[in-house]
Amino acid sequence: MADSFPPAQPHDPPREILPDVLYVHGSFRMGPGMTISRNMIVLRHQGELTLVNPIRMDAAGEKALEEYGTVKHVVRLGHLHGLDDPYCVDRFGAQFWSQAGGGEYPAPKPDVIIEDGTPAPVPDAEFILFHETKSPECTLLLRRHGGLLIGCDGLQHWESTSRCSLLAKGVCHAFGFMHPANIGPFWIKLMTKNGGSLRPDFERLLEHDFDNLVGAHGQYLKGGAKAALKKTVDRVFP
């Protein structure tokens, strides 16, 4: 039955990348001819699911999700994202987590406002907030299986242009997206204050340990993520 929310956009079936962690590699249509990859991560704890960087899935995807567990939490990490947050909150009756400030997608209003020290919705995890960005963004670090650092636009691992349209593939290659554990090339321009630098935020991230990394665009990086991000920081902030 049709509803008033934006429809599901093409995506791969959910795939378990670590115990109790699902990865959904999907897409986002930005405009005519311009579609880029978009990722969601699902964390499971005692049968309860947390959707991070929410993506509306098709019926088969939702069936797989429901077989995996019960969605209880929906987490927005970056305020440039949010297209499918209202749908996911409504569809699953979930609690919505976000930093304060409406940004590009003012709905839904958060049930839990993410701040420094806000306990994460799953154990062995913590939010790490960017402090220097123009608009709110944070990461979620899962301290299991060597560590999984989940980002939104700030962290993007690009090893291929899967789920990108031809035009987007060209943009990704021309504008410096194609690096492991990258910092979003457009995001950094949008988010850096006049005369400011985001380097301290990334150096703070590098104080933590994580082998694996995934952002809201690109692919999942399994292994070597911290060393790859360190290399990126040195390249982006010479």
153 sits near Fe ion (criterion: CB under 5 A): yes
Q: How far is the CB of 38 from Fe ion (least distance, A)?
A: 7
CB of 84 to Fe ion, least distance (A): 13
Sole window of 50-58, 68-76, 143-151, 152-160 interacting with Fe ion (rule: CB under 5 A): 152-160
d(CA 88, CA 120): 19
Nearer to Fe ion among residue 20 and residue 153 (C-beta)? 153
| Nearer of residues 185 and 224 to Fe ion, judged by Cβ | 185
d(CA 14, CA 209): 26
Shortest Cβ 25–Fe ion spacing (Å): 14
Stretch that binds Fe ion, among 41-49, 86-94, 153-161, 225-233 (CB under 5 A): 153-161
**Enclosing H/E stretch for 15:** strand 15-18
Cβ closer to Fe ion: 10 or 223? 10
Query: Which of 64-73's residues contact partners 24+ apart within 8 Å by CB, and which partners?
Result: 64/13, 64/14, 65/14, 65/22, 68/14, 68/22, 68/42, 68/44, 69/44, 72/48, 72/121, 73/48, 73/49, 73/97, 73/121
Shortest CB 235 distance to Fe ion, Å: 20
Asked if residue 85 binds Fe ion (CB under 5 A), the reply is no
Question: What number of chain residues touch Fe ion (CB under 5 A)?
Answer: 1
